[in-house]
């Protein structure tokens, strides 16, 4: 940095506001970060290489702390030697906003110089020969070093990139997520790729129709890794896209960490790395445990809260589109250690933005798990051009999950101190086979209008009374009659605070 700039920084008495992109600290909204006193703003451009050898530009804007006087982002970096063009400024707020630096590819060639015109002599010839020999030896040494340490240098660049956005090599995952872009859309893609390469697989913990789930470790922290079958690339892409949605993060939605594709010419692995919850799915949890009313309230409210966040469109910059899950079931809901639910598996989800009035959906509307399909999906009368239709289909599925939860909630037998509850069962377990077909479900749900039974003992407990009313509203054959996720969330929240609440 020039002497004048250093003098200017010594006189600086307030923190600068800088434009940030791809290097924003956590909590900095709308593309803005704030330096420490004595800090500066920076903009940079570099050329990087993906695993296929394709070159692309990476641009970063952000804040430089007073202590960042060297390393990957130092302002004295020579773009010809390092392939990184960096510019720092500290004269005004947002002084880096309009900087569009020119990409200068990395080269080992010395800059061209204009030779001075002089009369050749023996000393000049000797000097030229000596310089040529030295340059040749130097280039040979650089070539050998470059070929030998190419892979190591790539890893080193990624580590420096992580340091540039405030990520320390020894940071735990919780700190990494706190230091993400601040938009709620997860870590930068290169950081995700770095994490994916450092994953250590331990054991398989589940298998579904789209892939297999493994327990793994990243720097001694447990994570879950979903490995998609090679035929399910579209599901991996859709789920990754949903998780990367701006403002997607929520305590009742499974925490996304990273996604990557690994492979060679003979095999390919599509990975999705998320938080690990040792209690497993709600389906498994309910088979092993009974619930008391307080536990049931927490599970039901957290499920409604997560779905309400999905269904709600957030306006602004950045904003969040509305999302419908389309495969709500107890196996796609995980139980956290604090007793709350979180929603997972977004391979069939659809997004909707009112600004473009466009629903991002595959042509086939008859997808999902047949046992949990709404009547309008089974008889194919769902309006695929209306996003509300998909939200209401989600609410039908939620009602069935509430029914599964409620069966496992204990109540006291009248006139005794004994408690009782029903055995765990899937919805419609007594009227359809274990793997029902579309025709099986259509005959029960649409033709006979059958719904799961409500036991009489549920009338003895407030939360069961409220949930039974919610279920009957939400699994109604007419989608327009069903409650919204936000209405269910507010009802259960008010019950948690004030006691019994009537459905309105």
In contact, 175 and 146? CB cutoff 8 Å: no
- To the query of whether residue 327 is one of the catalytic residues in this protein, the response is yes
Q: Which of 99, 260, 275, 327 is catalytic?
A: 327
Spell out the alpha helix ranges (H) of 149-232: 150-164, 173-178, 189-197
- For 461, the token pair is 């407990």
Torsion over CA: 193, 195, 201, 204 (sign): negative
Token output for 178: 């706190």
- From CA 418, how far away is CA 438, in angstroms rounded? 41
Asked whether the beta carbons of 61 and 22 are under 8 A apart, the reply is: yes
Q: Which residues pair with 102 in a beta bridge?
A: none
Q: How far apart are the first and last CA of the chain?
A: 66
Query: Based on the number of CB atoms within 10 Å of its own CB, is 210 exposed (0-12), middle (13-18) or buried (19 or more)?
Result: buried
**Residue environment code for 334-356, b if the CB has 16+ CB neighbours within 10 A, otherwise e:** bbbeeebbbbbbbbbbbbbbeee
| Residue 225 near residue 273, CB atoms below 8 Å | yes
Three-state DSSP at 86 gives strand
| Sign of torsion over alpha carbons 156, 158, 159, 160 | positive
Contact in structure between 82 and 106 (CB atoms under 8 Å): yes
| Bridge-based pairing state of the strands 358-360 and 200-207 | unpaired
Rounded CA-CA distance 319/349 in Å is 18
Quote the CA–CA distance of 22 and 296 in Å, as a whole number: 42
Q: How many CB atoms lie within 10 A of CB 498?
A: 8
Beta bridge partners of 253: 343
Q: Which residues are catalytic?
A: 327
């Amino acid at each position: 940095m020039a002497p004048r700039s250093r003098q200017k920084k010594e006189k600086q008495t307030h923190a600068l506001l800088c434009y940030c992109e791809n290097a924003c600290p956590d909590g900095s909204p709308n593309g803005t970060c704030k330096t420490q006193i004595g800090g500066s703003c920076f903009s940079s451009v570099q050329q990087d290489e993906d695993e296929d050898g394709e070159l692309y530009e990476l641009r970063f804007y952000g804040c430089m702390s007073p202590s960042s006087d060297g390393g990957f982002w130092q302002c004295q970096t020579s773009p010809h030697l390092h392939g990184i063009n960096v510019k720092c400024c500290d004269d005004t707020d947002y002084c880096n906003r309009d900087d569009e630096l020119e990409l200068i590819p990395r080269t080992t060639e010395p800059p061209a110089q204009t030779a001075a015109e002089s009369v050749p002599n023996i000393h000049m010839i000797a000097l030229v020969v000596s310089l040529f020999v030295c340059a040749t030896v130097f280039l040979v040494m650089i070539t050998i070093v470059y070929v030998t340490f190419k892979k190591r240098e790539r890893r080193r660049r990624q580590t420096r990139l992580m340091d540039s956005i405030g990520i320390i090599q020894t940071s735990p995952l919780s700190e990494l997520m706190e230091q993400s872009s601040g938009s709620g859309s997860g870590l930068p893609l290169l950081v995700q790729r770095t994490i994916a390469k450092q994953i250590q697989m331990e054991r398989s913990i589940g298998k579904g129709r789209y892939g297999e789930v493994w327990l793994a470790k990243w720097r001694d922290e447990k994570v879950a890794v979903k490995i998609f079958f090679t035929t399910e690339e579209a599901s991996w892409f859709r789920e990754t896209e949903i998780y990367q949605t701006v403002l997607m993060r929520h305590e009742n939605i499974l925490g996304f960490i990273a996604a990557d594709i690994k492979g060679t010419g003979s095999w390919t692995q599509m990975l999705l790395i998320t938080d690990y919850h040792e209690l497993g799915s709600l389906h498994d949890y309910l088979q092993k445990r009974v619930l008391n009313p307080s536990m049931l309230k927490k599970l039901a409210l957290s499920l409604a809260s997560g779905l309400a966040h999905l269904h709600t469109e957030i306006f602004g910059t950045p904003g969040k589109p509305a999302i419908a899950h389309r495969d709500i079931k107890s196996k796609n809901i995980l139980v956290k250690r604090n007793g709350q639910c979180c929603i997972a598996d977004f391979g069939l989800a659809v997004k909707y933005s009112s600004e473009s009035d466009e629903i991002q959906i595959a042509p086939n509307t008859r997808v999902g798990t047949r046992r949990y399909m709404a009547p309008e999906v089974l008889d194919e009368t769902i309006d695929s051009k209306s996003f509300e239709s998909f939200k209401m289909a989600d609410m039908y599925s939620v009602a069935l999950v509430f029914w599964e939860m409620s069966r496992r909630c204990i109540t006291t037998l009248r006139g005794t101190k004994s408690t009782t509850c029903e055995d765990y069962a899937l919805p419609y377990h007594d009227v359809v086979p274990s793997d029902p077909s579309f025709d099986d479900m259509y005959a029960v749900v649409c033709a006979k209008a059958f719904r799961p039974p409500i036991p009489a003992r549920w009338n003895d407990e407030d939360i069961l009374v409220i949930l039974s009313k919610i279920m009957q509203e939400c699994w109604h054959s007419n989608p327009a009659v069903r409650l919204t996720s936000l209405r269910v969330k507010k009802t259960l929240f008010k019950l948690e605070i004030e006691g019994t609440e009537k459905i309105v």
